[in-house]
Amino acid sequence: MEDDLEAIRRKRMEDLQRQQAAMGESDVQAAYQKEQEMAEREAMIQSVLRQIMTPEARERLTRLKMSRKEMADQIEAQLVSLAQSGRLQSKIDDEKLKALLMQMQPKKRETKITRM
């Protein structure tokens, strides 16, 4: 967890240093503080997910995050909430994650074209 947090901090610091030329010093410090808080929050979420999910399920969630970030963020938030409230009885495996994803997908509407 510490290595992940340090890597995220280092990357964010490099990004902020690039932006420093365009911003004032106080803006840079505020931006750095905000980025640091976001990195810590992300590291905490990843730590909780490592505890409650199997590696296969985490891999599926990572792939989903690349294509549908908003949906993946919703699922992460939901899983973290369930874990923190103690409502998870077992680890989330790939099959359980698939079922959760199917529940979250909007119903598809069927379009029929009638030719005359």
Domain spans, the chain: 1-52, 54-88
Are 65 and 72 in contact by the 8 Å Cβ rule? The answer is: yes
Contacts 24+ apart (CB under 8 A), 21-30: none
At residue 108 the predicted structure's pLDDT band, cuts being 50, 70 and 90, is confident
Q: Could you tell me which of 28, 35, 42 has the C-alpha nearest to residue 72?
A: 42
pTM, two decimal places: 0.64
- Residue 109 has what pLDDT? 76
What's the sign of the alpha-carbon dihedral 10, 15, 21, 23? Answer: negative
Kindly state the average pLDDT of the residues 88-107.
Answer: 88
Which of 18 and 43 is assigned the larger pLDDT? 43
pLDDT at residue 4 is higher than 80: no
Q: Residue 49 — very low, low, confident or very high, per pLDDT cuts 50/70/90?
A: very high
Please name the helix (run of DSSP H) or strand (run of DSSP E) that holds residue 66, with its range, or none.
helix 55-67
Q: What is the pLDDT of residue 25?
A: 65
